A and B are shown apart, each in its own frame.
Chain A
Amino acid sequence: DIQMTQSPSAMSASVGDRVTITCRASQGISNYLVWFQQKPGKVPKRLIFAASSLQFGVPSRFSGSGSGTEFTLTISSLQPEDFATYYCLQHNSYPPTFGRGTKVEIK
């Protein structure tokens, strides 16, 4: 199975901060990577697909980059509604595997 190493596992940030979350795949996955945001008690929400394509309706402060084994989710200017847990998912090969999540908390 492909391991997805997501970092950091948690972080504290302030409104307006630039936030970067990284996922590293144990082997190449091309661009078969999805980023999700999840708030407590809610369904995961897709933010980014194909590593860098922004989901329709998601604010442009979210962006994704990377290919192969290194991927990044960036929030250019953190907003109050962005405090949540973020997950990456690789679906290049079976079984799809998630990163362990990054909890973004208010500083």
Chain B
Amino acid sequence: QVQLVQSGAEVKKPGSSVKVSCKASGGTFNRYAFSWVRQAPGQGLEWMGGIIPIIGSANYTQKFQGRVTITADESTGTAYMELSSLRSEDTAVYYCADHYGDYSLWGRGTLVTVSS
């Protein structure tokens, strides 16, 4: 069964960085296209950026440009989202999703808490 398996919850200090992973289990890695979507507590869904591994380059929404880096490692079948200069407002659940399949497949989410 095809799954996206995300890394575990993180607690980070303001100003630090976090790197969340999303491993594609089953299927061919290069048939995925990974989007990263976040959801702050009690808020809606927000698309941050995405990458198509077979192409390699990532796209980011302007809000996160310069603070987020999305990469994909074909050798491990894993996509990564790194967010830097963390602030309290970045406390959220971060999801990866396969946008090649029109968002039918999602990871279970990774809670990132930013707190001093």
Contact = CB atoms under 8 A, between A and B. Distances in A.
A58 B103 CA distance: 15
21 contacts: A1-B62, A34-B103, A36-B103, A43-B95, A43-B107, A43-B108, A44-B45, A44-B95, A46-B104, A49-B104, A89-B47, A91-B99, A91-B103, A94-B59, A95-B62, A96-B35, A96-B47, A96-B99, A98-B44, A98-B47, A101-B44
Contacts of A38: 45
Sorting the interface of chain A by its residue count into under 10, 10 to 19, 20 to 34 or 35 or more gives 20 to 34
Contacts, number: 52
Contacts of B30: none
Interface string B35-74: 1000000001111011000000001111000000000000
Interface of B: 35, 44-47, 49-50, 59-62, 95, 99, 102-104, 106-109
A46 B44 contact: no
Given A43-B95, A95-B59, A96-B35, A89 B44 contact: no
